[in-house]
Every structure is written in C-alpha cells, then in structure tokens.
Amino acid sequence: MTQPRYTPLVAALPANVPFVGPDTLERRRGRPFTARLGANENGFGPSPRAIAAMAAAAGEAWMYGDAENHDLRHALAAHHGCAPENVIVGEGIDGLLGYLCRLLIEPGDSVVTSDGAYPTFNFHVTGFGGILHKLPYKGDHEDPEALLAKAAEIGPKLLYISNPDNPMASHHPGTVMAEMVSRVPSGTLMVLDEAYVELAPEGTEAPIDANDPRVIRMRTFSKAHGLAGARVGYALAHPELIAAFDKIRNHFGMCRMSQAGALAALQDKTWLAYMRRLVEGSRNTIAQIARDNGLEPLPSAANFVAVDCGADGAFATAVLEELAQADVFVRKPGVAPQDRCIRISCGPEPEMHALAAALPDALARARDRTPG
C-alpha cells in the first residue's frame, strides 16, 4: 500500500487542535449544552439587517463569492479612513493568521507572544515550523515591555499581542499599542489582534496608520457583530503586505452570504451601539453571579469575563467540568496563574439564568473533589 509522503514538518506535528469546538463536545457528551458560554461567540446574534442580507444572498449561493471582496473591502477602507489597498478580507482572523504565518514563517523562525495567549496563533506558527518564545502575563495583562525586550533580544519575525486579550479580557490603552509599534525591532512585524476592540472602552483602539509597515492589525465580525459562523475577518496593513496575501490566499474562500452579512453589519451602527450595551449588561450580570458565589470577576473589555475561582488550576478545571455536567459550557485559561480562572462568554438572559442556577452546586462539587 502506498502512503502519502507527508512533509517532515507535518509528520512531526502533534495531532491536536487548538480548541475542541462546542459541537464536538456535545457529541462526545451525548447531549447538548443549555448554555453555550465557552467559545466567546455572541449569543445576542447579528444585526437583523445582516440576517436579512444573508437570507437575500442565499439564493445566489450558486455563484462563487467575489474573490476581491470588493464591496466589503471598500466599505471597510471608508470605515477606517484608509485605502482599499490597506485592507485584506479573509476567513476570520484565524484564517488570516494562517496566511500571515505562511507568508513569513519557515522552519526555525522565531516568534514572540505571551504564554497563555490566543492558541490558534501558536497553532499556525507551529504549523509552519516557527519557534514560539512565550513571555508571562503581568498582573493578568499581556506585558508589552517583556514582549518588546524579548523581541529586542532575538529579533523575531512576528511579535503577537491581542488587545483586549483572550483569555483574560484585560486591555491596554491603544496608545500603549502605538508606542509598542514604534519600538518593534527592525525586521519584526507586530501582529495586533483587535478581535474584541469594538466592545472595549473608548481609547482601546490603537491610533496606528494603516500604512505603517511595522504592524498588521486583525479585526473580525465574529465578536461584536455576532457573525462567528460566517467566518469574516480582515486585516489592515501596508499595501505591500496586503498585496502579498494575494500570492497565497484562497481567493474563493469567502461566500456571498458572509460578504453580504458582514457589509450589512458594518453599516448597522445602531445595532453595534445596542450590542455594546447588551454586552456590558451581560458582563455585569456574570460579575454579579460570580460575586454572589464568593468568586472574583476580573474587569473585562471584551464579550467574556474571566472569573477567579480563588484557588489553583485544578480547582478551576473541576468547576468547569461540574458546570459542563450541569450543561453549562465555559472555558478556562490554560497557563498558571491565569488558569485559576474560568472564562465565561456573555450571552442572553436564559443562558445567564442557567449559569446562575448551576454555579453554586458546581462549586460545591468541585470543592468536594479537590479537598484542601
């Protein structure tokens, strides 16, 4: 029998995925979750205008999507006050991170990021043979100074930071990000992941010129716009870097429904303002549920809240597992000391009620399991 001859790089990769999806978890459990609060999706859903636009485009699904994403790209350029040549649209930030790594990383290249930061970025770096250098969080924030110091020491191809960050939902002012850009070493590209920035306090969006060749900024319709399943993300960067994506990207990777939905969502500013209020209300609800149970909610600049369970990672894992037993899906940070927390996504009232109902027993059972 002939075998596919994998590249040595792929043959050496572990067979794991960065996140096991909630649908997979449901199949494994043999029953659905009643509260889907673990994947930082937006349970409030997309703008009704986006839904209508996607429904209207459904009948056109026989056509490939516009390979240039022309209308969305132009609208995004107008929205950000830059040229369409500064904008690349792709299959979510995740897809774009994969393309970016393909453009820049070959085996042995170094990359700097925070330990416990967004794992899908690490997955792509490793997938192209890059070497990750991970710096610890400081006070539950990603640490710009430590990241810059490491970058100055080793001159990585990429320096990744997410603002606000996942999994802690902490944030730095946008000016701190702009200052970071001004200090990245020559030859290093800063990757600023702003997946949650529309939900963050005023001033979190970094004041960065899209023509600055030292940085690429990633945005998504998955979070504030509630379109995670439509898979629409985009990046803002220097035109030369944007043009390079055309050499390797899947030109027909976007579907017409997603393109139409994202365009309508971008135009519906009223819904976005409403969403900011809904998410803020939900953050407060999660914080209150945590406090009612003697736990400490961390401040959040995103559509999820990291809740300090007051002990170590094993205890937080036990809480997470007990919540899952009660059909409430949450996730948690993977690296100490942030792994003392569980991470709860914002969502509508029924989900919040399910969380509030399940948490006291889940905590009691977790305490029984981990005495001491």
Ligand X SMILES: Cc1ncc(COP(=O)(O)O)c(C=O)c1O
Minimum distance from residue 175 beta carbon to ligand X (Å): 20
Which phi-psi region, left, alpha or beta, contains residue 129 (left: φ > 0; alpha: ψ -120 to 50)? left
| 338 in contact with ligand X (CB under 6 A) | no
Closest to 305 (Cα-Cα) out of 280, 278, 286 = 286
Q: Could you say which residues in the range 150-169 bind ligand X, by CB under 6 A? A: 162, 166
Angle at the Cα of 154 (from 239 to 160), degrees rounded to 5? 45
Does residue 131 sit in helix, strand or coil? strand
CA gap 104, 89 in Å, rounded: 18
Minimum distance from residue 133 beta carbon to ligand X (Å): 19
| 90 in contact with ligand X (CB under 6 A) | no
Does residue 87 sit in helix, strand or coil? strand
- Closer to ligand X at the Cβ: 315 or 329? 329
Burial bucket for residue 88 (CB in 10 Å: 0-12, 13-18, 19+): buried
Task: Please identify which residue in 38, 65, 92, 261 interacts with ligand X, judged by CB under 6 A.
Answer: 92
Segment interacting with ligand X (CB under 6 A) among 89-97, 102-110, 248-256, 345-353? 89-97
| 87 in contact with ligand X (CB under 6 A) | no
Segment interacting with ligand X (CB under 6 A) among 91-99, 262-270, 292-300, 315-323? 91-99
Task: Please identify which residue in 40, 122, 204, 345 interacts with ligand X, judged by CB under 6 A.
Answer: 40
- Closer to ligand X at the Cβ: 128 or 304? 304
**CB of 339 within 8 A of CB of 308?**
no
| 205 in contact with ligand X (CB under 6 A) | no
- Closer to ligand X at the Cβ: 230 or 264? 230
| 122 in contact with ligand X (CB under 6 A) | no
Cis before 299? omega within 30? no
Residues in binding contact with ligand X, number by CB under 6 A: 13
Torsion from C-alpha of 344, 348, 349, 352, nearest 10 degrees: -10
CA gap 359, 354 in Å, rounded: 9
| 84 in contact with ligand X (CB under 6 A) | no
| 94 in contact with ligand X (CB under 6 A) | yes
- Closer to ligand X at the Cβ: 230 or 290? 230
Task: Please identify which residue in 47, 86, 163, 220 interacts with ligand X, judged by CB under 6 A.
Answer: 220
Closest to 197 (Cα-Cα) out of 216, 225, 158 = 225
C-alpha 333, offset from chain centre: 13
Task: Please identify which residue in 72, 77, 93, 224 interacts with ligand X, judged by CB under 6 A.
Answer: 93
| 195 in contact with ligand X (CB under 6 A) | yes
Nearest to ligand X by Cβ — which residue? 92
Strands (E) in the chain, as ranges, are 35-36, 87-90, 110-114, 131-135, 158-162, 189-193, 215-220, 233-236, 296-297, 304-308, 328-329, 341-345
Using CB under 6 A, list all residues that contact ligand X: 40, 92-94, 118, 162, 166, 193, 195, 220, 222, 228, 233
